[in-house]
Structure 1
């Protein structure tokens, strides 16, 4: 329909204005096979951008992410599988993100979801704080050792520490802003770790003769 085409063009232009340096690579969802909702959103997204985009389904474990990249030909979905192994620091984020997603997906009401999300968030925060504390202790121990032992000098380690300190965010008294910033950081790290092989997602699966 002409109206849908115009609406899709307007949405595409709006996305380009808001995120001029970003490109849409596909639609992400959790699961092992496309659902009716996945199909509906995928169709709408393809209409907006005027091109066929892959539907990426993620079944993640703490030590490995299992991708199922689905390409649609008319009404038939064809899967292709990609395995991505995250590094140890990314495994913490993956585990937290997937546990949060599984909790909220299994609950049947917004009130119960909110309550479970808050309870689970406390557990995730304690685990994250413990991991952060361990890394800070190691960093402080290294700096103290460097003060007394010049042979401990390592340019790469110091550069990583300097970058972490230089990009430290200022404290805020707004609790909601702090929660949003924390979730943004988790999501950014999660997407970065899960997007290493995005260049392969547009490759159509081999046809079986």
Structure 2
């Protein structure tokens, strides 16, 4: 078999480059089951408002969900097919009245508890920062993004005036998804070996014309190991 030496080297290098090039915009991952029971919004472990009325508890729950979906819209853009940005924006439009009502209720709560507009606004700002940062994750990003994508879809197309029902049903799963879990389909990470077995490129295996010497060095091949 006759093989040009330069062509063999180029083929081997090109094959190695192709082997390590990642696929773009693909998200193959089976997440953990993060489902949880419906919640009111004042259960232990959840962000709570001391002395809040039932209406304020509901507003807190709705605003926490909005914060989670906002974080997901920013954090999950690495996978456009999740539609976290699109569905979050749809939610803002479809449920603007319910979001505004929740914000107004929370603003009045912090004004009342902190006895004044200025200290109330400062407390509201701290609340907003704490709420948003609570949903920021790195280690649990894949599971959180898939869960948030499903919740964002439910929120986007929930009937107007009933967004709080989505929060009651799905906030448990959003918070559970902040716990890092790995791939659930396989017990271990599957490794795909992309290393190449290259032919010998020293002079022993090639003649002066750059032809592979099969009798000396065996069959020419470039294969994955």
Q: TM-score, normalised by structure 1?
A: 0.28
Greater strand share, structure number: 1
Q: TM-score, normalised by structure 2?
A: 0.26
CA radius of gyration, larger in: 2
